[in-house]
């Protein structure tokens, strides 16, 4: 079983494991930028200090958005590729999966299996950020705040489907392409917590 192999490799306690199955039926399915709930939920944080994901199928980009500065970084997720990040990354960055532009659509899908849990060998770094709370969770760079900047258009044709408002004036091509007017759909998810 994939989850058991991931947990064993990262030494994640099985009693702490939560999983999600994401099915991206084609290249227009997407996942918006978000923090995993352990960034702001104290009960989840007791049992989750690592997120691990493995991808099968079509290559897609895992995108990270700095919650304070709006900086973005992208990591291609090829068939069979695995990623992981810890508590601090989850608090300081949001993550999501883009929808591909029309000229890259090929009808192929992707499955990702996500696992959260408690890895006892994780080393907390000096100056780790506090958990997000009701006062800090919505602050900073957010896809849900239309007042951050005036020049971004909220439409369904943005490649990233994050509807973020940019603090900077230059745009990466990835964020400005469209999907030929087709509507993007979120991935189909199923949790096991």
- For 104-137, the pLDDT digits (tens) are 889 999 999 999 999 998 888 889 999 998 777 7
d(CA 39, CA 91): 5
If you average pLDDT over every residue of the chain, what do you get?
A: 78
- For 28-84, the pLDDT digits (tens) are 999 999 999 999 999 999 999 999 999 999 999 999 999 999 999 999 999 999 999
User: At 186, is the pLDDT very low, low, confident or very high (cuts 50, 70, 90)?
Assistant: low
Say whether pLDDT at 183 is over 60.
Answer: no
d(CA 190, CA 23): 9
Residue whose structure tokens are 């009808």: 107
Q: Say if strands 72-77 and 60-66 run parallel, antiparallel, or are unpaired.
A: antiparallel
Q: What is the largest CA-CA distance in the chain?
A: 48
pTM: 0.74
Closest CA relative to residue 28, chosen from 97, 114, 111, 113 = 97
136-141, long-range: CB within 8 Å, 24+ apart, which pairs?
Answer: 137/35, 137/39, 137/40, 140/67, 140/68, 141/65, 141/66, 141/67, 141/68, 141/69, 141/70, 141/167
Say whether pLDDT at 161 is over 50.
Answer: no
User: At 152, is the pLDDT very low, low, confident or very high (cuts 50, 70, 90)?
Assistant: very low
Give pLDDT, residue 147.
36
How much of the chain is in helix, strand and coil states, percent to nearest 5?
Answer: 15, 30, 55
CB half-sphere exposure, 139, CA atoms < 13 A: 10
- Domain 2-192 in CATH 3.40.50? The answer is no
Give pLDDT, residue 45.
95
């Amino acid at each position: 079983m994939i989850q058991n192999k991931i947990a064993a490799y990262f030494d994640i306690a099985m009693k702490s494991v939560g999983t999600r199955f994401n099915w991206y039926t084609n290249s227009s399915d997407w996942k918006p930028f978000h923090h995993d709930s352990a960034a702001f939920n104290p009960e989840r944080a007791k049992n989750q200090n690592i997120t691990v994901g493995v991808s099968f199928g079509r290559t897609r980009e895992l995108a990270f958005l700095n919650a304070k500065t709006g900086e973005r970084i992208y990591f291609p997720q090829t068939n069979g590729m695995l990623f992981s990040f810890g508590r601090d990354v989850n608090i300081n960055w949001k993550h999501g999966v883009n929808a591909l532009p029309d000229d890259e659509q090929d009808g192929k899908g992707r499955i990702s299996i996500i696992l959260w849990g408690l890895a006892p060998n994780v080393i907390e770094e000096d100056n780790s950020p506090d958990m997000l709370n009701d006062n800090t969770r919505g602050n900073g760079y957010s896809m849900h705040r239309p007042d951050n900047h005036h020049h971004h258009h909220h439409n369904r044709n943005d490649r990233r489907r994050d509807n973020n408002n940019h603090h900077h004036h230059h745009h990466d091509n990835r964020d400005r392409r469209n999907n030929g007017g087709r509507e993007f759909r979120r991935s189909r998810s199923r949790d096991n917590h």
